[in-house]
Structure 1
Amino acid sequence: MSDVVRLASAADHLILERLWLMFRHDMSEVDGRLPNPDGGFRDEWLRAALVDADWAPYLLVSGDRPAGLALVRGVSGPTRVLNSFFVVRGARGRGIGLQAAQEVVAKHPGQWEIAFQDANSAAVRFWRRVAAKVACGEWTEEHRPVPQRPDLPPDAWISFSTLA
């Protein structure tokens, strides 16, 4: 399989906005959030990824078609965080997600943290599999409260290093 990840450019912003809407819609099943009155979802992370130099927005592609997105924050800091990761439903089950996660992590060697929700059983299996493949040595998993959301169960966080 060829590369499925590329750094998003200004020309990709509309595509990322559309993918973001699909991502947040999928996540609403897990976090119970409804769309805003205008039909959109909160998008401050996407907006930050498009303008902040400490973020890296990636477009996942399958051939010439958009297949998902990945937003990384903390690219210049000691720990990178895979803030958002999404593969469109039509591209799932083809290995695109696993390859994309590996490619994104490889672009930013060092310490990593990835959060997911225990209620999202596919994400639990997926992120543990990713950690086992990309971590140099051991990886850890812990639960942390969701900031400003005491009504939600804690997020699971996987931490690992890609440096030996």
Structure 2
Amino acid sequence: MTDVSARLAEATDQPVLERLWLLFRHDLSEFSGALPNPDGTFRSEWLHAALTRADWAAYLLTSSASPVGLAFVRGLTAPTRVLNSFFVVRGARRAGIGLRAVREVVAKHPGPWEVAFQESNVAAVAFWRRVATEIAGDGWSEERRPVTGRPDLPPDTWITFNAPVDARR
């Protein structure tokens, strides 16, 4: 079984997170149609928020000595946490790393959680339903919600579940 660690990012991790962010946004562009900015980057306000706002947390996902992904959590002081961004590099997918990383992140913040994804992203649909079932059994729900300020986009799918005190069990 491949190892994985989800640790709270430090200031020195910012360059790595910025690179992983570009890969993440590139992957999502397949479903959103978003094109890079003129400088080759993608919009990055969530990256900035995860690194600077008190109510957010940025996690760096690693396997052995390699960075393999990121997880951004918002709403740390709210009644419900939101897994705002989650990404595992393609070379680490389908090895159980993503599921173990999500379990580790949510275990650090037990209680209600929400995560959104696009229904057109078939792999994400299967992954997030599996995550919810692994963490909450049949105690999770799913609903479609319009994307705020983007009536041109199809609704996001939101999964809601409750993470027990130790979601890694």
How far off its partner does 1:2 sit?
4.0
Calculate the TM-score normalised by the size of structure 1.
Answer: 0.96
How far off its partner does 1:112 sit?
0.3
Runs (4 or more) in structure 1 with deviation over 6 Å come to none
Match of 1:144 in 2: 145
Which whole-Å CA distance do the structure 2 matches of 1:161 and 1:9 have between them? 27
Match of 1:52 in 2: 53
Match of 1:61 in 2: 62
Which whole-Å CA distance do the structure 1 matches of 2:137 and 2:152 have between them? 35
Confirm or deny: 8 A CA contact 2:111 2:164 kept in the other structure: yes
Confirm or deny: 8 A CA contact 2:75 2:81 kept in the other structure: yes
- 5 Å-filtered alignment, 1:1-164, equals 1-135=2-136, 138-163=139-164
Confirm or deny: 8 A CA contact 1:136 1:161 kept in the other structure: no
RMSD of aligned Cα (Å): 1.3
Query: Which structure 2 segments of 5+ residues have no match?
Result: none
Which whole-Å CA distance do the structure 2 matches of 1:136 and 1:6 have between them? 25
AA at the equivalent of 1:155: D
Confirm or deny: 8 A CA contact 1:136 1:160 kept in the other structure: no
Confirm or deny: 8 A CA contact 2:4 2:97 kept in the other structure: no
AA at the equivalent of 2:156: D
Q: In the TM superposition, what whole-angstrom CA distance separates every residue of 1:82-108 from its partner, at most 9, and x where no partner exists?
A: 000000011111111010011111110
Query: Which structure 1 segments of 5+ residues have no match?
Result: none
User: Identity of paired residues, percent?
Assistant: 65
Deviates more, 1:9-18 or 1:129-138: 129-138
Confirm or deny: 8 A CA contact 1:117 1:124 kept in the other structure: yes
Calculate the TM-score normalised by the size of structure 2.
Answer: 0.94
